[in-house]
Structure 1
Amino acid sequence: MTTPTITTIEPTTLREWIDQHDDLVILDVRSAAEFEALHIRGSYNVPLPLLAEHTADLASRLGERVVLVCQSGVRAEQARVKLAGAGVDTAFVLTDGAPGYAAAGGDVVRGAGTWAMDRQVRMAAGSLVLAGLVGGRFLSPKLRTVAGVIGGGLAFSAASNTCAMGQVLAKMPWNRSAQEPTAASAIGQLPRPTA
């Protein structure tokens, strides 16, 4: 019987690790705006699209103890899978993300009040469904199709563990208030692994 691989870490355990391990690297894979709004003190911002594009370069800079953080765990798990494919099989995903860590009393940095991406997706999807249903009732029954398309998109998003609406919303001006890191700045900020 094989032992299942543990790929998550609880906020309370991370708090202990921060105090106990000098080689710990915490990568926050959210957008720069989300990172600016709330992040774990001492974490590094490497947004998921950047990590996905430069996985091998990033993997060469990581040591034995890596924790991946996002808002809820979805993007962090995608990052863990990417890093595992590049040979980093010691990465953990923080359960409940940065908000969970803050709620557990972890040391966080709070900045500008940008909504979290999952909240923005819920607002956009809900508004589009409502607009489609109201428009279908009062303007044209064909507008109800908007609600169906959004519902189908959300179901696909859950099944594929991706979010096209989140990717579109990330490009909106209010989510661009913070400067997105470049590959050189994101990877260059990481400490060199000790031999």
Structure 2
Amino acid sequence: MSPAATAETTKSTAETAKTIDAQTLTTLLAESPNLTVIDVRNPAEFESAHIAGAHNIPLPLLSAHTVELTARLQDGVVLMCQSGVRAKQAQERLAAAGLQGGQVLTDSAADVEKAGGSVVRGRQVWDMERQVRFAAGSLVGLGLLAGRIASPKFRVLAGGISGGLVFSALSNTCAMGKALAYLPWNQGASEPSWEEIQAKLDR
């Protein structure tokens, strides 16, 4: 095997090792009570359903305090969201700041519950990924319908949403998700302050 191929295999193995599924996490939580689970969803999503004992540190807040957070974390950190996308972004930020051994949960809180883990449930709200899919699909459909009934110019809306989704995939960001986070139903729970998070992590 060539050096390049060996390096690629090593890189692939390292990336695979950074992910964890619901069943494995449930087992680890039972065996390692000191395991730190950080949920990077917004407060309303977290309130809807979260793993018992998890810390809610929304991705924007984590991004603003990456260095300080990394200094407080030890090995044995699992980052989660709904599908693993935001959690992976958080893990990359923390790894760049020096965190070793951070893992990304590729499943949701509901999957952990199905695997036998303890989940706390509150006021229900759609997860952000689902809201984005609904909003994007609705806007594309509206643009095409208005373009047929009212004016062809409305088709620009559908094209704009399509281009936005492509950019979102290429850049691994989601402007629509950030915008939706400000809507009333996503503001049901107050966002934790950095001071509150520090206090909880230091316990």
Q: How does 1:82-161 map to 2 (within 5 A)?
A: 82-161=93-172
The alignment's TM-score, normalised by the length of structure 1, stands at 0.94
Q: For each residue in 1:13-37, what CA deviation from the matched residue of structure 2 results, as whole angstroms up to 9, or x when unmatched?
A: 1111111113310000000000000
Q: Distance in 2 between matches of 1:45 and 1:65?
A: 16
Between 69-78 and 156-165, the greater mean CA deviation after superposition: 156-165
- The number of residues matched between the two structures is 192
Q: Distance in 2 between matches of 1:10 and 1:55?
A: 24
Q: Deviation above 4 Å: which 4+ runs of structure 1?
A: none
Identity of aligned residues (%): 53
Supply the AA of the counterpart residue of 1:46: I
Identify the residue that residue 46 of structure 2 maps to in structure 1.
Answer: 35
The alignment's TM-score, normalised by the length of structure 2, stands at 0.91
Q: Distance in 2 between matches of 1:96 and 1:22?
A: 20
Q: For each residue in 1:98-145, what CA deviation from the matched residue of structure 2 results, as whole angstroms up to 9, or x when unmatched?
A: 232223232111111111101111111111011100100011100001
1:148 is paired with a residue of what secondary structure? helix
Structure 1 gaps of 5+ residues are none
Q: For each residue in 1:22-58, what CA deviation from the matched residue of structure 2 results, as whole angstroms up to 9, or x when unmatched?
A: 3310000000000000100110000000000000111
Identify the residue that residue 52 of structure 1 maps to in structure 2.
Answer: 63
Q: Distance in 1 between matches of 2:147 and 2:103?
A: 46
Identify the residue that residue 168 of structure 1 maps to in structure 2.
Answer: 179
Q: How does 1:4-43 map to 2 (within 5 A)?
A: 4-5=13-14, 6-43=17-54
Residue 83 (structure 2) pairs with residue 72 (structure 1): yes
By how many angstroms is 1:164 displaced? 0.4
Q: CA RMSD in A?
A: 1.2
Q: Distance in 1 between matches of 2:100 and 2:146?
A: 50
Residue 198 (structure 2) pairs with residue 187 (structure 1): yes
Q: Distance in 2 between matches of 1:42 and 1:22?
A: 9
Q: Distance in 2 between matches of 1:105 and 1:37?
A: 18
Aligned residues of 1:23 and 1:63 also touching (Cα < 8 A): no
Q: Distance in 2 between matches of 1:42 and 1:146?
A: 43
Aligned residues of 1:55 and 1:83 also touching (Cα < 8 A): yes
1:155 is paired with a residue of what secondary structure? helix
> Per residue, is there more helix in 1 or in 2?
2
Q: Distance in 2 between matches of 1:184 and 1:99?
A: 29
